[in-house]
Amino acid sequence: MHVIPAVALEHVDFGYAPGRRVLEDVSLEVREGEFVAIAGPNGGGKTTLVRIVLGLERPASGTALLYGEPAHRFSRRRTLGYLAQRAELGGDAPATVREVVAAGRLACAGLVGPLRRRDRELVAEAIARVGLEEVADAPLRTLSGGMQQRAFIAKALAGEPSVLVLDEPTTGVDVESQESLAALLDRLHSELGVTILYVSHEFGAVERFVQRLVLVRRGIVFDGPPRELPHVWHDPSHAHA
Ligand SMILES: Nc1ncnc2c1ncn2[C@@H]1O[C@H](COP(=O)(O)OP(=O)(O)OP(=O)(O)O)[C@@H](O)[C@H]1O
Ligand SMILES: [Mg+2]
């Protein structure tokens, strides 16, 4: 039986300006329920790649499918959770953790009015999952950077995503928080079967949880279990060249 993959890119080319390809001939298939790390040097095209996956950018040529539908016209957009690179609330907005997370639920439920009881439960559940119950009603700006990141992850979770894309969620986050984030994602993956694309050039924290590591450098230069990564790619001077 052929199962439709969650994500399917086929021979995708993309550039922001004519004549300057950022991605070239990228093909990538992610099955539902996979936990994939995406790594590579700065400017390698990781963010661009996930934006194409989510249908936020369209390939110049080739195809991008989500569950078999063209990604930019995907009909179940609410089932996508996206934590963009350097997600910020901006300035000193007074919103509390709960309000930020609730915004994720509102966006998903397509609501404009107050949240229903079930929505409020899902918001509380998402806050608990990331371990922020004690600061749920504190303004986000009073939290440390790592805790703010967890609040944004809870925001994405409140929408009950079937696909969760996290772009550099551990920027500015200490090693201990990176480990706890990795463990959190592992639980989401194994308990809820969420398909996860985790972008980072520091994949050490998730290495033991992911089935696949994809290295992006204009094209996909490696795609396989992290332990099969050729040794040369572990060399930082090479990875960041
Ligand atoms: N909005 C944009 N307009 C023009 N060029 C862009 C834009 N976004 C990215 N680029 C260029 O596309 C290339 C790939 O960028 P991208 O952000 O996808 O890389 P990345 O792997 O996510 O890098 P980083 O590790 O720094 O986040 C880079 O050369 C970048 O300068
Ligand atoms: Mg990026």
Q: Is residue 61 part of a domain?
A: yes
In this prediction, the residues of the chain whose per-residue pLDDT falls under 70 are 1, 87-92, 108-113, 232-241
Sheet architecture: strand order including 23-30: 23-30, 7-14, 61-66, 69-70
Q: What distance in angstroms lies between residue 190's CA and the mean position of ligand 1's atoms?
A: 31
Residue 217 contacts residue 41 (beta carbons within 8 Å): yes
Q: In CATH, what number is assigned to the domain containing residue 55?
A: 3.40.50.300
How far, in Å, CA of 234 to CA of 192, rounded? 32
| Residue 2 counted as domain residue | no
Q: How far is the CA of 230 from the centre of ligand 2 (A)?
A: 23
Q: Is residue 114 part of a domain?
A: yes
For residue 146, the model assigns a pLDDT of 80
Total domain count, the chain: 1
User: What is the predicted pLDDT for the residue at 239?
Assistant: 47
Cβ(104) – ligand 1 distance below 6 Å: no
pLDDT given at position 16: 96
pLDDT of residue 175: 80
In this predicted structure, what is the pLDDT of residue 241?
Answer: 39
pLDDT of residue 176: 80
Per-residue confidence (pLDDT) for residue 1, from 0 to 100: 62
Distance (Å) from CA 168 to ligand 1 centroid: 13
Cα gap 70→65, rounded to integer Å:
5
Asked, for residue 18, whether it belongs to a domain, the answer is: yes
35-39, strands of its sheet edge to edge? 80-83, 163-167, 195-199, 35-39, 212-217, 219-224
- The answer to whether residue 174 is domain-embedded is yes
Residue 136 belongs to a domain: yes
Residue with token string 């639920």: 105
Q: Is residue 85 part of a domain?
A: yes
CB 62 within 8 A of CB 13: yes
Task: Pick the ligand that lies closest to the CA of residue 39.
Answer: 1
Nearest to residue 122, comparing CAs of 147, 154, 146? Answer: 154
Which bound ligand lies closest to the C-alpha atom of 201?
1
**pLDDT tens-place string over residues 120-148:** 999 999 999 988 999 999 999 898 888 88
Ligand 1 probe mutation, 9, 38, 47, most atoms within 8 A of CB: 47
Range of the domain at 34: 7-239
CA 99 to each of CA 89, 106, 145: distance values in angstroms, whole numbers, following the listed order: 12, 10, 17
Q: Does residue 1 belong to any structural domain of this protein?
A: no
